[in-house]
Amino acid sequence: MLEIVGNIRLWDVLDIFIVAFIIYRIILLIKGTRAVQMLIGLVVVLGLYILSFRVGFFTLHWILNNFLASMILVIIVIFQDDIRRALTRVGRNPFITSSGDKLEQVEMVEEVVRACLALVEKKIGALIVFERKTGLNNYIEKGILIDGHIQKETIVSIFLPTSPLHDGALIIQEGRIAAAGCLLPLDTNIEISSTFGTRHRCALSLGKETDALVVILSEERGTISLAFEGTMRLNLSEQVLRDTLLKLLPPGKGLLKTG
């Protein structure tokens, strides 16, 4: 062991670091997506391949051997959307995918707050979700992909009653509007006052599964609420909403991207 350690070069350490970083970024990319289930399925197939060889299931082994021989092509076909998304992120910033300064974060929150005030004034309901540490790709994939800049006008137009996306949630991921018209989980067992509607229940349901921040705009009351970690803060003022979002959004998450 000491001999192996003594023969390690600086380039070997760098090589290991690069491979580890790539694996880490791949895990972050597929976290919270259906790709995780697909990856588990491939692991199961690989396990069957090894088992069939050891036990002597020659027919099964032959089938799996031919399947695994085209593994690179299979992976490209199965994970094509995830690969495309990864290359897009690398194109925006080759080294850091969640970078930015405090000023950008303030600008992003300001656009959302302005949109909320405009919607509340018009008595239009809305659900705006901020991704934090827990990936929300499962919900993004079920909505309409947008990948657009965060602007007041864009958010307001999405939730206008004439918009086909107004009934679903808008999800903000890595400082961009990732998708709209997203369906959130609805847990009917959550204890909540009957005076609250489906939006509030969906926001609390999502809080049971993730650490996301959910802004709820009530069209009946014309009020702004914020749900996170199974709790809900009601009747927030403009300043309280702004301060709370800036406080709860972790550094480097939800920053406004210009690329």
Tens-place pLDDT, residues 25-81: 777 666 656 666 677 888 888 899 899 888 888 898 888 888 888 777 877 776 676
CB 175 within 8 A of CB 255: yes
pLDDT band at 258 (very low <50, low <70, confident <90, very high): very low
Residue 68 and residue 222: Cα distance in Å, rounded? 57
Mean pLDDT of 6-30: 79
Task: Report CA 84 to chain centroid distance, whole Å.
Answer: 16
Torsions phi, psi for 152 (to 5 deg) = -55, -50
The residue ranges of every structural domain in the chain are 2-92, 102-248
Q: What is the CA radius of gyration of the chain?
A: 23
- Show the tokens assigned to 216: 């709820």
Tens-place pLDDT, residues 82-117: 666 666 656 655 554 444 456 678 889 999 999 999
Residue 242 and residue 221: Cα distance in Å, rounded? 20
Task: Report CA 53 to chain centroid distance, whole Å.
Answer: 39
Mean pLDDT of 211-229: 91
pTM of the shown model: 0.64
Q: What is the DSSP string of 45-92?
A: HHHHHHHHHHHT-HHHHHHHHHHHHTHHHHHHHHTHHHHHHHHHHHHH
- Show the tokens assigned to 59: 């027919």
Residue 255 and residue 181: Cα distance in Å, rounded? 22
Question: Is the pLDDT score of 255 beyond 50?
Answer: no
Tens-place pLDDT, residues 188-197: 777 777 778 8
Question: Is the pLDDT score of 221 beyond 90?
Answer: no
Nearest Cα to 254, choosing from 215, 216, 219? 215
Mean predicted lDDT score pLDDT of the chain = 82
CATH topology of domain 102-248: YojJ-like (1 (3.40.1700)
- Show the tokens assigned to 30: 């597929």
Question: Is the pLDDT score of 225 beyond 80?
Answer: yes
Beta bridge partners of 29: none
